[in-house]
Amino acid sequence: MSETVIETRRLSKEYIRDEFHITALQDVDLEVKRGEFVALMGPSGSGKSTLLHLIAAMDVPTSGEIKVLGQDLRKLSDRAIARWRNENVGFVFQSFNLIPVLTALENVELPLKLTPLKKQERIDHAVTALKLVGLGDRLGHYPRQLSGGQEQRVAIARAIVTDPALILADEPTGNLDAASAEDILHLLARLNQEFGKTVVMVTHDPHAARFASVVHHLEKGRLLPMNGNP
Amino acid sequence: MSIPIAYNFRNLAVRKATTIMTALGISLTVAVLLAVLALLHGLETSLKSTGDPLHVLVLRKGANSELVSNFTRTGFQVLKTKAGIARDEAGNPLVSLEMVTVINLVSVDAPDGINVTVRGLEPVGIKMRKNLKLVAGRWFTPGRREVVVGQALVKRFPDVKMGKQLHFGTGDWDIVGVMASGQSAINSEIWADLNQLSSDQHRTEVLSSALVQATDAVAAQALVNRISQDQQLNMDAELETAYYEAQQSSGALIKGLGWFVAIVMAVGSCFAAMNTMYAAVARRSKEIGTLRVLGFSRLSILASFFTESVLLALLGGLIGCLLVLPLHGMTTGVGNFRTFSETDFNLTLTPRILMGGMVFAIIMGALGGLFPAWNAARKEILVALREG
Ligand SMILES: Nc1ncnc2c1ncn2[C@@H]1O[C@H](COP(=O)(O)OP(=O)(O)OP(=O)(O)O)[C@@H](O)[C@H]1O
Ligand SMILES: [Mg+2]
C-alpha cells in the first residue's frame, strides 16, 4: 500500500510586504505516502511551518500545486476547507493551544461538535481519545491544572478524536522537558504504527527525528534531496 | 454544530470585573428606560380608568379643560333636554353640573405646595361615577362646608385625613370622608357640595362643566355631535374617555425625555459593550485561530462572539430589571398641563414592560457585539494564531 497522501509540485510561497520580498518556500516537490511518519527538519526560517500550514490549508500557496488526501485544496471554498480540515487533519501546535475555559474532556469534544454525532457519542469518543493518550483520569481538569506534557497529550487527543487520516505537528515537543517530549514522540509513533495515521512532524531535534520513518530537510525554502533514509 | 455556549458563559465568568462593569452600564440604561415606561404605564392606566365610555363631558365652546371653561346654569337647563340622555329610576336625567377649581396643598415632600383639583357637584354626580367608593367616613352634606378627599391625597399629605380641616376659599372645610375609584384621577381630587363651593368661590352662576350620561355608547357619540353642533348652546362635548386620554400629552413629554435619556445612555452602553468585546477578541485571538484550525467556520466564530455580547447584555438587562423592581407600585404624582393639577398614580411594571427592557438590552448587546464579532471572523488563521 503506497497510496499518496500528500503531493506537491513546484509549491511556492512568497510574502510580499512593501518592498520586502520573502520567499518562504520555493518549488517544493514533496510526496508523502499513507502510513509514513515524516520528520521535517531544517534551520529556523527555512519554511517548515509554512509548508505544514499549506498542507493543512491554513494558508494558500503563491504558486504550484498541492493535493492532500486526493483533494486539490485550491478548489475548495473557505467553508469547505474548514469542513475538510475537521474531517481529515489533526493539527498539533507547539504551544498546545487548548481552550483555557474548557476542561480536558470539553477540549477534546470540541471538534466533534461539527459532526452529526449525538452528545453521548461525542463524550464516548472524547473519553476514548483521552484514555488513549493516558489521561482517562483527568477528564474534568482545566488546562491550567495540567502539566505541559499532559496539555500536549490532551491536544493530541483533540487532534485524533475525529479519526483523521493525517496528523500534522509543528514542533510538538518544542515547549516540553525531555521526559515529556519522549512521551509525546512515543505517542505519535504509536498513532502511526498502531492506528495507521500518516504523521508529518516539524522538528529541530535530531533525536525526535529518529522516531520518523522518513526525514526531509528544508533549507531557505527548498526541499533538499533525500539522502538514504530507511 | 457550533461553538458551545458554555464557552461564552465561562469566558464571561473568567473576566468577572469587565463583565460586571459592562453589564452594570447596560443595566443602568435599562433601568432608566423601565422606570420611564412604568411611569407612563401607570399614568395611562390612571387616565384611562378615569373615563367612562357612556359619559360625555361638556365644556364651554373653545375651552380645552374644565378649569378654563365657564359654564352657565341657563345653558345647563337647555342641555338637560337633549335626546339620548340616560335617566335614573325616578326619571331624572343623569346630568351633573360641576365646578372645578384648583387649590394649593403643602406637603412634607413639596414645601412649595402642590396643585390639587377641587370639584363641586351634586349627589347625581356621585351616583354617575360607577366605580367610585367611599372608603372611610361619609359623603358631604349639601349646604355644609364639608369635603370628601381622594385616597391618594391621604397617602401623600399628612394633614389630609378624616377629622382634620382644609383651609381654602373663605374658610375651613371639614374632611368627612375618603373616596377611591380604581386607578382613576378622582383619587387625587377633593369633592364638595356644588352650591357651597360655588358661593365660596363667588361663582354661583358661572360653573365649569357638565357630565352627561348617555343611554348607550352609540347615543354617547351622537350626543357629542349634537351638542357640539348646536350653535345656540355654544358648548363643546367630548367623550370622557377621550378627554382623559388627551391629557396624556404631559405623558408624551416624559416619554420623549425618557427615551432621549435612555437612547443617549444606550449609545454609551453600546460602546462599552463594543470595547469589552473588542478586548475579548484581541485577548482570544489565538483561540480564534485554533477554533478555525479545528474546523469551525468564520460564521461560527462570528456567531460565538455575537452571542457572547448578547449574553453580556442579557445579564445587564436582568440586573436592570432587578434594579427597578422596588419601584413597582410606588405612588407618585405628575403635573398636568391641562388641568393644572397633579394626578397621583402607581408606577406599574408589567411583564410586557420588563420584556421591552430586555429587548432593549439585547439590541445594545447586538449592536455592540456586531463589529468585534465581525472582526474576529475576518481574521486569517495564521494571523490569529500569531497574535495570541
Ligand atoms: N506572515 C509572514 N509575513 C512575512 N514573512 C513571513 C511570514 N510568515 C513567515 N514568514 C517568513 O517566511 C520564512 C519561513 O518561515 P517559517 O515560519 O515557515 O519558518 P520555520 O522553518 O518554521 O522556522 P522556525 O524553525 O523558526 O519555526 C521566514 O523567513 C519567515 O520570516
Ligand atoms: Mg516554525
Q: How many helices (H) and strands (E) does chain B have?
A: 13, 14
C-alpha cell at B384: 490569529
In angstroms, what CA-CA distances link B370 with A140, A197, B15, B110, B210?
33, 41, 20, 47, 59
Point out the least confidently predicted range of A37-46, B19-28, B34-43, B214-223: B34-43
Polymer length in residues for chain B:
388
Q: How close does chain A come to B24, measured CA to CA in Å? A: 23
Cα–chain center distance at B47 = 9
Cα separation, B161 vs B158, in Å, equals 7
Point out the least confidently predicted range of A81-90, A172-181, B104-113: B104-113
Residue B31 above 50 pLDDT? yes
Cα separation, B368 vs B370, in Å, equals 6
- Quickly state the pLDDT bin for A230 (edges 50, 70, 90): very low
- Quickly state the pLDDT bin for B246 (edges 50, 70, 90): confident
Cα separation, B187 vs A119, in Å, equals 61
C-alpha cell at B207: 360653573
C-alpha cell at B49: 380608568
Q: How close does chain A come to B385, measured CA to CA in Å? A: 9
Kindly give, in sequence order, each residue whose CB lies less than 8 Å from that of residue A121, ignoring residues fewer than 6 positions away.
none
Residue B252 above 90 pLDDT? no
Return mean pLDDT, chain B. 88
Q: What is the pLDDT of residues A145-179, one digit of tens each?
A: 999 999 999 999 999 999 999 999 999 999 999 99
The answer to whether B67 and B60 are in contact (CB under 8 A) is: no
Cα–chain center distance at A4 = 17
Cα dihedral value B27, B33, B36, B39, nearest 10: -70
The answer to whether B304 and A102 are in contact (CB under 8 A) is: no
Residue B243 above 90 pLDDT? no
Residue B338 above 60 pLDDT? no
Give residue B256 CA to ligand 2 midpoint distance, Å: 60
pLDDT of residue B81: 87
Mean pLDDT of the region B192-200: 93
Do residue A97 and residue B11 have CB atoms under 8 angstroms apart? no
Residue A2 above 80 pLDDT? no
pTM above 0.90, yes or no: no
Cα separation, A89 vs A166, in Å, equals 5
Return mean pLDDT, chain A. 94
Beta strands of chain B (E only): which ranges? 55-60, 71-72, 95-107, 110-121, 133-137, 146-150, 165-168, 171-180, 189-193, 206-207, 209-213, 235-239, 331-335, 342-346
- Quickly state the pLDDT bin for A35 (edges 50, 70, 90): very high
pLDDT of residue A229: 47
Cα separation, B124 vs B130, in Å, equals 11
A50 pocket-lining for ligand 1 (C-beta < 6 Å): yes
The answer to whether A134 and A146 are in contact (CB under 8 A) is: no
- Quickly state the pLDDT bin for B37 (edges 50, 70, 90): confident
Cα separation, B102 vs B115, in Å, equals 6
CA-CA-CA-CA torsion sign (B339, B341, B346, B347):
positive
The answer to whether B22 and B276 are in contact (CB under 8 A) is: yes
A15 pocket-lining for ligand 1 (C-beta < 6 Å): yes
Name the strand (E) or helix (H) holding B242: helix B240-246
- Quickly state the pLDDT bin for B203 (edges 50, 70, 90): confident
Residue A137 above 90 pLDDT? yes
Q: What is the pLDDT of residues B69-78, one digit of tens each?
A: 889 898 899 8
pLDDT of residue B105: 82
- Using a CB–CB cut-off of 8 Å, the residues of B that contact A are 1-4, 6-7, 10-11, 13-14, 286-287, 289-299, 380-382, 385, 388
Least Cα distance to B343 among B35, B99, B102 occurs for: B102
Cα separation, B306 vs A202, in Å, equals 36
Cα–chain center distance at A118 = 26
Cα separation, B176 vs B162, in Å, equals 6
**Domain spans of chain B, in order of start:** 5-47+250-387, 55-213
Scanning the structure block, which residue is given the C-alpha cell 354617575?
B128
Do residue A106 and residue B4 have CB atoms under 8 angstroms apart? yes
Mean pLDDT of the region B25-43: 88
Q: What is the pLDDT of residues B132-188, one digit of tens each?
A: 999 999 999 999 999 999 988 888 888 888 999 998 888 899 999 999 987 777 888
